[in-house]
Amino acid sequence: MTLKKTPNREEIGTAIHLLLEGSCMITQKHYCLILCVLLVVSLVGVGFLWDQNSDFRRSQRRDYIFSKKQECQKYRSELAETLSFNSRRGNLIAQASGSESALRTSSLEVVFFSPKDNSCLYAVHTFWRGSGQEYSIHNALTGHKITSFNFPDQLEEYKRFLFEYSDGEIRL
């Protein structure tokens, strides 16, 4: 059994050099044509590999966002229960102090994953007896209030916020 030696770069380069300049008598015009063909083939190959890699990254991002959306929905029932409890407690305190205008009702509007913040966010709709309404956005992981919008004056800004931060998923 005879083992064949794999040529190294120098041997391949020498072979190409001899082929293009030496024994075959290829003119400079042919040489340029061959180089152009090799360049085009190389670029097509790189483009194909780049496209394959890009599709793979998009697929990974979709899978990541999908798993985060599912994870965020796990907070829904706990958040709704907490909001309800806090509304009842706040109303009891307001009634005990005789402050009827402080009575409020808060309800969970939506829980969603925000690719922009890379976190779970939720929107709360709060209604104060006799004094107005508000939509507020909170981070589900930290509980921090991110921003709020007065209703009805800032309803369009609220809609834009949800659309932008949900990556176009939420359209009101």
Query: In terms of residues, how long is the chain?
Result: 172
Closest among 142, 135, 141 to 161, alpha carbons compared: 135
Phi, psi (rounded to 5 degrees) for 121: -120, 155
* CATH number, domain 74-165: 3.10.450
Ranges of residues in the chain whose predicted pLDDT is under 70:
1-31, 36, 39-53, 55-56, 94-95, 99-102
Distance from C-alpha of 145 to C-alpha of 136, rounded to nearest angstrom: 7
Q: How far is CA 33 from the centre of its chain?
A: 45
Distances (CA, A) of 56 to 53, 59, 61, 106, 118: 5, 5, 9, 42, 20
User: Would you state the pLDDT for residue 12?
Assistant: 60
pLDDT in tens, 50-65: 666 676 677 888 888 8
Distance from C-alpha of 26 to C-alpha of 142, rounded to nearest angstrom: 72
Strand-strand pairing, 145-151 and 104-114: unpaired
